[in-house]
Amino acid sequence: MNNTPKYVEYAHAILKNMDQSEVDENYNILQAAASTIEKTIDIRVENTHLDILVTMFDITFKTIVKRIKMKVNEGKSHYRVIVAKRVEIGYDNALDEDYEDNGGFMFYMKHLYLKQEENIQREYGDSVIELCAMWNSMNVSSDMQFIADVISEAKSELNKQDIALETDICIIPIFAIIYDQLVDEVSKKRKELGEFEYVLSFLSSFDVKAVQSDNMDDVIIFTPSIEYKLELKDNHTASARYE
């Protein structure tokens, strides 16, 4: 009888095609994020269970993309959602009709260089639900219905992977804390190596690149995996075919 949690198998399936050095770096980022998650919203993820974070981030990201695809089906030429004041995710095919017709359907992620709210002020006795509610009130201020729909759908998918959450309002905080750690670590790695730019593949979902700039902050560039680009383009092509 296989007693391995489903989230372990899920995570390993995501990571199996990545170079081992990148897998190790991905886990290092998740380990650092786990520490911040515990300090911020009092949810503890042991180092031996980091596959929970792999699965949570991937399912949340996939759910965001899936719900953006629904806007393609509705015939919208462009759509974007801002996730926790940190990243804009969307698509745009309105810039150049000929470009889109030739296969250039534009799915993108854009880092938002916004100063984030300071860590919430925890008090003794604050529950996980209270801490997550405070975090969300400070960090989620746009696209509220879209985010609510993502949370509802992601929770259902996480349950299928043996991840039972005390509260589903922890989903976006965990996603965002991992995102913050990823951006910070890629920028830090570039500086440590003394390179002009540094690129890392994260959970087979996208590449993130830190590029040196004249300002203090690096330029952060995301390149979504071909899987997501093709999903959106194929979805649009199928929709357009029947219009």
User: Does residue 121 sit in helix, strand or coil?
Assistant: coil
**Residue 1 domain-assigned?**
no
pTM of the model: 0.89
- Residues 64/150, Cβ–Cβ less than 8 Å: yes
Alpha-carbon distances of 18 from 25, 207, 225, rounded to whole Å: 11, 12, 12
Mean confidence (pLDDT) of the chain:
86
Phi then psi for 80, rounded to 5 degrees? -150, 150
Q: What is the mean pLDDT of residues 76-103?
A: 74
Q: Specify the pLDDT at position 225.
A: 76
Work out the pLDDT band at 116, boundaries 50, 70, 90. Answer: low
Q: Name the least confident of 89-98, 126-135, 175-184, 227-236.
A: 227-236
Domain containing 154 equals: 6-241
Helical spans, DSSP H, in the chain: 6-15, 20-41, 51-73, 97-101, 128-139, 144-160, 171-193, 226-241
Residues 50-71 pLDDT 10s: 999 999 999 999 999 999 988 8
Gyration radius of the chain over CA positions: 18
Q: Is residue 228 part of a domain?
A: yes
Could you give the number of structural domains in the chain? Answer: 1
Check residue 152 and give its pLDDT.
96
